[in-house]
Structure 1
């Protein structure tokens, strides 16, 4: 099942991988945490779920197959179509289909497709190699209690050697006091140096400002001031509405989206040489998800890209 392996590879880099005609694999990130009762630590992770509604081809899987197997785009689409047909036939026979390291599919009694993600699978590449572990309980108070019990049972005799140690303790306290006074003096000197540097900087800035004020610039027939308001889109969540092989088609798509009121733009070529067009960018995932649902009403092939541009 080579196509299942390709889906597995893409899930490490993308949040949505569509298997055209069948459904979409969607990943979701989870923060690191500690189980409240067992004390087990879990590293940050990215799990996968399945959406049966997203079936339209977005070109991602087909382009990856084309690149990996050095075949044409149409040949890649034919492989995907044949794979989906075989998958549907196996499920109709009430058999379970396993996508290695991704999950398994099966049909329930009500002919509903059920997806079970692979256990312990983490698609967050930044957390590769990290595993959960259980922290040990700190027994510091237990040791302190045991020491107190021993002191109560065993008498302590003060010997001349013990008294000598006591005088050494006082001497050590005196040395610490001397060291602290020296450190305080060093801090005072450091503060004086900083105050001197700040004063010199202010003096230099004042001299420079006086020289600038002495200069006079005379401009005949000055041009009127022009104020332009440019709204720059920010955020790492982008709504991708299309990817085009030709740059002219991408530019045309941008103009059409702008005519519809979108702040569309091109974000360059992806690794497959396709010119990507986005309709908008957003600061939060919630804003981007709401906008994606709205865009999908007219463009079912739109998808969410999470990337710092």
Structure 2
């Protein structure tokens, strides 16, 4: 093939590929009569986990050699561009297609700028390989890929960390028994406030369900929760925890308070705490007696242990005393009880 013929063929191919590229800007299919159809495919934006990149949307190009029927789209483009008649434009396209086949026959491959490569395989069939960058698409102009690696979430599987978290939880009352001769009872006020809130709710429920005048008829039940009711006033938040001194032996006065007064077996009294264990009750009594409330004592009822204060001949006298002590820490939630009826 002479140099002039090669230049002519290149110019014709360039002319054809330019028309196809321009028509694909607004169309997804351009049929070249006698050659085949170029079909655009839309690819959505996607994430490549292997490379850790977001890839923008684009259009790629496919080729179907079976689409040879003229749809007049390409012919009309030639008519408008070169001021040709329809038959003249169709004839020119057929000549350019013939030259393209001639180049394929001699060189085996034709590159269409902006589109891809046409070539013949071992079976002499026409194949097309599109450019990886896709075809020109104004709607996707300026969109590019960018890196964004995945964040791997770490799951906490350290059993020791879980055990430490459990160990750090505040306990209401705990006993240090490492020294058998000197046992200590420790009370955490911070944790106690949480338990006190639940106890206050329970006390409010009982107050609504049972009036004070009928409370003396409540049955005694064995409930040893170990929680000291009303041990501190709700406004006392000066210390984070309270340490009760070592409980070695009950005082003579506390032992004497276990017995009912023989000279007055029937009396009225003020209940400071109820349904507590005996060690906690004695610690509670010691706490109040050191603050000047010498009439505080432990009382063993039927199935429960109470912490009582005072001996009163009448209900009226007991309520009057309770009213006068209402602002004293530990007496706000106390009530009057009849003993020995």
TM-score range, shorter chain: 0.3 to 0.5
TM-score calculated relative to the size of structure 1? 0.43
Task: Tell which structure's C-alpha radius of gyration is larger.
Answer: 2
The structure whose RCO (Cα within 8 Å, separation 6+) is larger is 1
Q: Which has the higher helix share?
A: 1
